[in-house]
């Protein structure tokens, strides 16, 4: 091997995200250095992440900046490229085809970021190139919707019109989100603790994989959060339904700890926690949701609370003093909600069996008698929207 890759920068133009990756950090305490991939430093795909906004990159040529070093001083007229190792079905598919088992699995599509077009590389007197722009081709960013992928690039070089010679393989964790994030997230400055966290996107982009618009993404996140009730969280009956992750601000670090198998802030969640999970995660993908309450003091129809498989009014209480959901727009009766805290009975008589479970996703809140979310949740009492409680909790 006569060439080495020194570094690869995905977010090479801080302040712009139409031709390159977005500003991101790993989590609340760890920033992400650029160039994201560095020789001798990056060993796993997670070490070198790249996040792209579909809305911002559509119609633009996407580039990365690569710095190379030659190991032979006499090298001239060198071209460099990177092949997409996931193209043609990927490595596993190739092996299975070779074993005669190709009919048993679907070949995977090419990598999310495609391949890196070949280009001529000039070396300076120090044997290095500066950061050189390389163009991505055959990427799936305009068709994939929300996605996450481990990109494997096989780097090669050739001199003149000679044969291509391998340099090595780099791996990168790539994410596509629908658009710039909305609050509490910010797109910049890069140093802000509120730019997107890749530790969250690992879950968010998996939960909403394939979503082509904000409604689909929010609905997918709602389903995924509710599904955490299978083992990760459950409704807070012992604590009276208190906010355990969202009091004052969203303790996202604790939530991630819980998702990763740690204790976090414990197993119990309430409606404010679920509303905050859904809206914050969906907004990271480009949705535009709020957390807002209804109340105060209303009877409940039987429901399936998160983590429970028993139809009952929450914890057998019979009523809620308030409830909170992820909500669109002005958070009034005419706007639509997402509720990952509970399933309602979707039949014509939600007060009695049999139940037809429905997880509220992009559902109109409605007025009493409309047959919308409000009627399915509550038969009586003050279940009015409280739009002055509308907020997007800050991250801690």
Partner 1 sequence: MDMQPERAEQLQAIYRYAEWPPGEEGAAVAQDFELPVNALDGWVRTRATRELARDGRTRQRSAWIRSPGAVDPALMVELWSCASADDARALLLALLGDMQSPVPASRIADSAVGDVAFALGGNSAVLFARGRIVVRLRNGGRTVVDALPAARDIDRVIVGGKR
Sites of contact with partner 1 (CB under 8 A): 234, 236, 238-244, 247-249, 251, 253-254, 257, 262-268, 270-272, 295-297, 314-315, 317-323, 386, 388-389, 394, 396
Give just the sign of the alpha carbon dihedral 130, 131, 133, 134: positive
CA–CA gap between residue 290 and residue 251 (Å, rounded)? 17
CA–CA gap between residue 41 and residue 56 (Å, rounded)? 30
Shortest Cβ 193–partner 1 spacing (Å): 12
Residues across the chain: 396
Shortest Cβ 248–partner 1 spacing (Å): 5
Shortest Cβ 254–partner 1 spacing (Å): 8
Shortest Cβ 218–partner 1 spacing (Å): 22
**Count of Cβ atoms closer than 10 Å to residue 254 Cβ:** 17
Which of residues 296 and 311 has its CB atom nearest to partner 1 in the complex? Answer: 296
Which of residues 43 and 388 has its CB atom nearest to partner 1 in the complex? Answer: 388
Q: CB–CB of 248/296 below 8 Å?
A: no
Tokens of 102: 């190709």
- Helix, coil or strand: residue 72: coil
Shortest Cβ 321–partner 1 spacing (Å): 5
Shortest Cβ 362–partner 1 spacing (Å): 23
Which of residues 261 and 354 has its CB atom nearest to partner 1 in the complex? Answer: 261
Which of residues 17 and 253 has its CB atom nearest to partner 1 in the complex? Answer: 253
The DSSP letter of residue 230 is: G
Q: What is the DSSP string of 337-352?
A: EE-SSEEEE-SS-TTS
Q: Which residue has the tokens 């992750």?
A: 245
Which of residues 172 and 323 has its CB atom nearest to partner 1 in the complex? Answer: 323
| Residue 130: Cβ-neighbour burial (10 angstroms; 0-12, 13-18, 19+) | exposed
Shortest Cβ 298–partner 1 spacing (Å): 9
Q: Which residue has the tokens 């995977």?
A: 108
Residues in contact with 129: Cβ distance below 8 Å, sequence separation at least 6, in sequence order: 66, 67, 68, 69, 121, 122, 123
CA–CA gap between residue 233 and residue 238 (Å, rounded)? 13
Which of residues 124 and 297 has its CB atom nearest to partner 1 in the complex? Answer: 297
Classify strands 49-53 and 165-177 as parallel, antiparallel or unpaired: parallel
Shortest Cβ 20–partner 1 spacing (Å): 33
Which of residues 146 and 331 has its CB atom nearest to partner 1 in the complex? Answer: 331
| Residue 100: Cβ-neighbour burial (10 angstroms; 0-12, 13-18, 19+) | exposed
Which of residues 10 and 250 has its CB atom nearest to partner 1 in the complex? Answer: 250
């Amino acid at each position: 091997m006569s060439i080495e890759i020194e570094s690869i920068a995905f977010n090479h133009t801080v302040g712009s995200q139409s031709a390159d990756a977005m500003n991101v950090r790993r989590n609340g305490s760890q920033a992400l250095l650029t160039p994201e991939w560095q020789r001798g430093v990056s060993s796993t795909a997670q070490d070198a992440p790249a996040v792209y906004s579909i809305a911002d990159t559509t119609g633009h040529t996407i580039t990365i900046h690569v710095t190379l070093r030659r190991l032979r001083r006499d090298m001239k007229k060198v071209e460099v490229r990177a092949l997409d190792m996931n193209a043609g079905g990927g490595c596993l598919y190739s092996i299975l085809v070779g074993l005669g088992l190709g009919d048993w699995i679907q070949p995977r599509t090419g990598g999310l970021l495609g391949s890196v077009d070949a280009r001529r590389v000039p070396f300076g007197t120090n044997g290095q190139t500066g950061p050189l722009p390389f163009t991505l081709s055959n990427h799936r960013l305009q068709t994939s919707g929300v996605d996450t992928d481990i990109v494997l690039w096989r780097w090669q070089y050739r001199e003149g019109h000679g044969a291509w010679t391998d340099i090595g393989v780099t791996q990168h964790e790539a994410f596509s989100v629908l658009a710039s994030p909305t609050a509490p997230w910010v797109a910049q400055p890069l140093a802000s603790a509120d730019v997107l966290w890749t530790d969250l996107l690992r879950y968010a982009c998996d939960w909403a994989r394939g979503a082509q618009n904000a409604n689909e993404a929010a609905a997918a996140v709602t389903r995924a959060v509710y599904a955490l009730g299978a083992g990760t969280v459950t409704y807070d009956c012992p604590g009276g339904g208190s906010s355990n992750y969202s009091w004052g601000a969203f303790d996202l670090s604790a939530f991630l700890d819980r998702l990763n198998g740690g204790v976090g802030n414990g197993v119990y969640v309430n409606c404010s926690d679920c509303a905050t999970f859904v809206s914050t995660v969906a907004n990271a993908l480009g949705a535009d949701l709020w957390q807002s309450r209804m109340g105060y003091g209303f009877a409940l129809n039987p429901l399936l609370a998160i983590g429970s498989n028993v139809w009952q009014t929450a914890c057998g209480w019979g009523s809620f003093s308030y409830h909170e959901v992820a909500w669109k727009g002005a958070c009034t009766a005419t706007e639509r909600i997402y509720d990952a805290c509970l399933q309602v009975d979707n039949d014509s008589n939600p007060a009695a069996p049999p139940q037809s479970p429905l997880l509220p996703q992009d559902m109109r809140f409605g007025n009493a008698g409309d047959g919308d979310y409000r009627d399915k949740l509550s038969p009586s009492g003050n279940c009015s929207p409280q739009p002055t409680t509308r907020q997007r909790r800050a991250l801690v």
